[in-house]
Structure 1
Amino acid sequence: MATTKEMSVEEKLRALYDLQLIDSRIDEIRSVRGELPLEVEDLEDEVTGLTTRLDKLQLELNQIEDNIKLKKGAIESHQASIKRYAEQQKEVRNNREYNALTKEIEYQELEIQLAEKQIKEMKASIEFKKEAVGQTKEKLDQKTTHLKHKKAELNDIMAETQKEENFLMEKSAEYREGIEDRLLAAYDRIRKSVRNGLAVVSIERGASVGSFFTIPPQTQVEIAARKKIITDEHSGRILVDNVLAQEEREKMQQLFASI
């Protein structure tokens, strides 16, 4: 909507109100999605976190099982040592050698007891971790199913609204090009500061839309004259008269219907 001449105040007001109608329609489309995109993002993060936790638990289980195998191997080694020392005791020549071998046997038996105690503790740890794995898998399945449904819901809404939103985004950019930077900056600033995003509003029954404050009659006359940009002293919104607003709404309705 580029201009080749200086715009009149009325043309500026119409352009601003048209931009407001387009941006408000984009706001409506996005509100239909509500918190869905954020919900999907949060669920994706949860699924990733649970998957990482499950992988970590499985790795820990594998490590514990490997350690049990090592301990069992050590027990077999200690048992072989005991058998070997017992055989050597049969051939000793004095009490000193016999006692030394006895101490070695006792040491190997203590090592076996320690290994068996550690195996018992590791088996208990395995049961605990298997329970954690089961709970994590169950939660992961629930979150994955929930995510699948939410994604499908979001995709359905996106499929219905994306074409219209893309068209309106292009139109919004086009209309913005035709508005001077100073007014555009004011428009954007007001839109960000008000809850409903309405920076340009019309006069309805003597008050600006969305406000309970009455506009003085003289100010209403000035707004209807369209000779200068007038803002609501209470909200800061740019004001347009009802006739102009109705004309632009009808024009924009035709645009929206063409999508």
Structure 2
Amino acid sequence: MTTDTIDEALAGRLELIGLPRGSYAVKPHDRLRRVIAQRMTESARDIPHFPLGMEIGLDALLAARAAHNGGEGAARVSVNDLVVKAAALALIEVPEANVSYVPEGMLQHAHADVAVAVAIKGGLMTPIVREAEGKSVTAIAAELKDLADRAQRFRLQPDEYTGGTFTVSNLGMFGVTSFGSIINPPQAAILSVGAARTRPVLRDGALAEEQVMTVTLTCDHRALDGATGARWLKAFRALIEAPARLFEGAGA
């Protein structure tokens, strides 16, 4: 089939759904977009997804982060760096969530290899922080900065973005407050992180404000049941709301 024939065939199909010729331009898919489309279609089709949402208080985390970043000579960390560290520790605390389903059995992962969704030109990549549970949050911050920078320049090696045991996707910087994500196979779960927002609360009988974020854990129901996902979220929330453990070994 020639290019002209393909274009004519496409134009004919689009006319049938009410898109007249000349009302659009066709931009051919590049290799990255084809791979993303294939993997996400397979995931949505073959994996039984279910979401679990939770609101998490951020006041203690934001205060601890400000104190750390304000230290003399301190290596700065972001909220996302802390989320990655908390996700890794929660996976170790709830190992039943750190698994992958394969037809032959359940893979129990020894480490928390946390992938982080990074928007790049024309698509998305998920570079991985390997064994994140054993790394300081400052080490995670430095590694993520390097991985994200090389992802933008298409300089990652395949072993730096394939595999992983869990993914974090954060759209809070765009003002998105709540969303769900499609699972990144062969992982069994992905955490979607929304923007921080202020809500009123009662403290000691007086009206006050607190910062919260909504997270959504999307689970593979072949590997995780609702109670397991809920236990993981509970462990994750405890680490975010009492963040001292996240800064252990962080140094400057």
TM-score range, shorter chain: under 0.3
Larger radius of gyration: 1
Structure holding more helix per residue: 1
Higher relative contact order (CA 8 A, sep 6+): 1
